[in-house]
Amino acid sequence: MTDIVDPALEAYATERTTPPPLFLEELADELRATLDSPGMMVGRLEGRFLEMLTFALDARSVLEIGTFGGYSSLSMAAGLAPGGRITTCEISPVHAEFARRHIAASPYADRIDVVVGPAIESIAVLEGPFDLVFIDADKAAYRDYFEAVLPKLAPRGLIAADNTLWSGRILDPTDTTEDTVALRLFNDALAVDPRVVVVQTTVRDGVTLIRRAA
């Protein structure tokens, strides 16, 4: 795995980002101790980044694809407009149970719904429109998720897709693993899609922000 940002700069930025509340620190500690692949958790820097996006959009309806332990859901909940809600889709019952338990213990228990099952099936029955969609699930399905949510995106809404720089592996021509190839194709397709305007950021592992074209 390659750091896409100098680790010292990443640490500097993280240390100068508002610390998370205690309930998120407790979630993170338990997640690292009990769940596999704790590196999938967004953490302090990206969590606050997602909160800021939610706040700036004055978002009332948020869709998340890939709950994991609930850190990102709870981060975004802090930025919701009054009366706003988050629907978060998770395929793993173990991850969903973990997230639900921590959501229930948070100040935002009444604002987050965890839906268990294949995300494509869940999206199909959700009405929208969504002010913010956060995609952070199986990388091979990113294009499918994008196509499924774009028609349900609010006119001034945003899609944020995580891990689109994939620890720099998208630049390694010898990496032909399914996820890496899928992310390359996703990134390349977005860059020339006339339906959207896109900016690729280097936040954490790469967060691509997408809006409808005018």
pLDDT in tens, 135-164: 999 999 999 999 999 999 999 999 999 999
Per the omega criterion (within 30 degrees of 0), is the bond before 118 cis? no
Predicted TM-score (pTM) of the model is: 0.95
Where does residue 120 rank: exposed (0-12), middle (13-18), buried (19+ CB within 10 A)?
middle
Please report the pLDDT score of residue 214 as a whole number.
82
In the sheet that holds 85-90, the strands lie side by side as 112-116, 85-90, 61-65, 130-135, 153-162, 207-212, 196-201
166 has pLDDT over 70:
yes
**Mean pLDDT over each residue of the chain, to the nearest integer:** 95
Confidence of residue 119 (pLDDT cuts 50, 70, 90): very high
Distance CA 165, CA 63 (A): 22
Contact in structure between 206 and 164 (CB atoms under 8 Å): yes
Rounded mean pLDDT, 90-95:
97
Q: Are 70 and 41 in contact (CB under 8 A)?
A: no
Alpha-carbon dihedral of residues 90, 84, 106, 208, nearest 10 degrees? 50
| Predicted confidence (pLDDT) per residue in 1-39, tens digit | 467 888 999 999 999 999 999 999 999 999 999 999 998
| Domains, the chain | 7-35+42-212 (3.40.50.150)
Give the count of beta carbons closer than 10 Å to the beta carbon of residue 132: 26
pLDDT tens for each residue of 191-213:
999 999 999 999 989 999 999 99
Model pLDDT, residue 2: 63
